[in-house]
Amino acid sequence: MRSWVEVSADSHFPIENLPYCVFSYYHESPRVGVGIGSYVLDLSFLYNAGMLPKGLAPHNVFALHALNEFVAQGRPIWAELRKCLTEILSEDNPLVRDDEELLSKSLHKQSDVVFHLPMKIGAFVDFYSSEQHATNVGKMLRPDNPLMPNWKHLPVGYNGRASSVVVSGTPVRRPNGQTMPQNAEVPIYGPSRNLDFELEVGFFTGKANPLGQQVSTAEAEDYIFGMVLVNDWSARDIQKWEYQPLGPFLAKSFATTISPWVVTMDALEPFRISGTVQDPPVLPYLLCDRAWTYDIALEVLLKSEKMSKPQTICRTNYKNMYWNMAQQLTHQCVNGTNVQVGDLYASGTVSGDSPDSYGSMLELAWGGEEPITLAETGEQRKFVEDGDEIALTGWCQGDGYKIGFGEAGGKVMPALSTEPAS
């Protein structure tokens, strides 16, 4: 397919993609848009101009500050809008292309807009679904028994904090907390010294189930709206001290960065593949009747304050994941948990088999024992330092086009120097 909007060969947003976002243009209110090339198409304006079918929603849901109300209309409506937008943007359709007023008011350069969180996030769940990552971390903690006995029987995860999920470009402040220095007898309070990123991919839910009702893997298709990049920032030293017996708390809750673009499952459909063979066989409720893995190339880039351009420090692929999205959602709901429209589910760190495919600094520098070198400046990194910018990016490679996710990036700011008053 081709669009009348100019799209470069390496663009993440060809007409085959059409990812959703929420943006504001100068001082106007945030509203819903779609990415095409280096532009954002304003869906709220198109709706008011009568360019979109009124049956898509009872009112202009695209004028709202989040995608939730549109997404709640359901999968048939998602498909109808995608078809309509594809027609509007197709190269032989003059409707918007040749109307100067429509064109100027509906199409904005991405460089001229501000992006916001795409969904109002009611709940955030983080999984631990890469066997390579879980094994690497396990080797550091339990060399003789890297994987816990339950790991290959259920998608391990925890319910995180939705209020600290931020959109790409938001600065991230180094967290303070308690840590236990080596050979010390009592913990100390202060900034985390071992700040890390986690390369993850997440999905947003687009359908709700009542409390007490389960969701099967066969039903997951109707519940999963689209995917985003996720950086679940982690303070490893705080985590090491606090995580037993209950798991992550302050080490994870200070910030989670997501990309502003929600790539729909329809756009990703051509890249659906069979996943890792699960051995031992999973319990019947976790069986899937179709492929649920996607071929998504992923990278992490780091730029220090001394560097003129970022350096790629990790290359991996989402297809490495052991547990898939349908299994994650089904396991979350097997006890009757109620899913809401706009809940965010993160994959857990995506790591591959080779050292340059590890999706966290903890693995890349092997707990600080093998620092990585930044080629341009010769600086070394055991963990992320103040002033560093971390950006995640990802895409599916088609025949002459990409289905991309843009970036999920953030710059690390110094910790607050004051201690809370007693």
Q: How far is CA 139 from CA 197, 305, 345, 364, 380, in A?
A: 19, 33, 26, 14, 23
For residues 260 and 404, give the distance between their C-alpha atoms in angstroms, rounded to a whole number: 12
Write out the chain in H/E/C secondary structure.
CCECCCCCCCCCCCCCCCCEEEEEECCCCCEEEEEECCEEEEHHHHHHCCCCCHHHCCCCHHHCCCCHHHHCCCHHHHHHHHHHHHHHHECCCHHHHCCHHHHHHHEEEHHHEEEECCCCCCCEEEECCCHHHHHHHHHHHCCCCCCCCCCCCCCCEEECCHHHEEECCCCEECCEEEECCCCCCCCEEEECCCEECEEEEEEEECCCCCCCCCCCCCCHHHHEEEEEEEECCEEHHHHHHHCCCCCCCHHHHCCEEECCCEEEHHHHHHHEECCCCCCCCCCHHHCCCCCCEECCEEEEEEECCCCCCCEEEEEEEHHHCCCCHHHHHHHHHCCCCCCCCCCEEECCCCCCCCHHHCCEHHHHCHHHCCCEECCCCCCEECCCCCCCEEEEEEEEECCCCEEEEEEEEEEEECCCCCCCCC
| Tokens found for residue 319 | 């297809």
Q: How far is CA 409 from CA 172, 268, 315, 395, 403, in A?
A: 10, 22, 16, 15, 19
Known active-site residue 331? no
For residues 153 and 334, give the distance between their C-alpha atoms in angstroms, rounded to a whole number: 14
| Active-site residue, from 65, 133, 153, 331 | 133
Query: Comparing C-alpha atoms, which of 320, 335, 374 is closest to residue 129?
Result: 320
Catalytically active residues are: 133
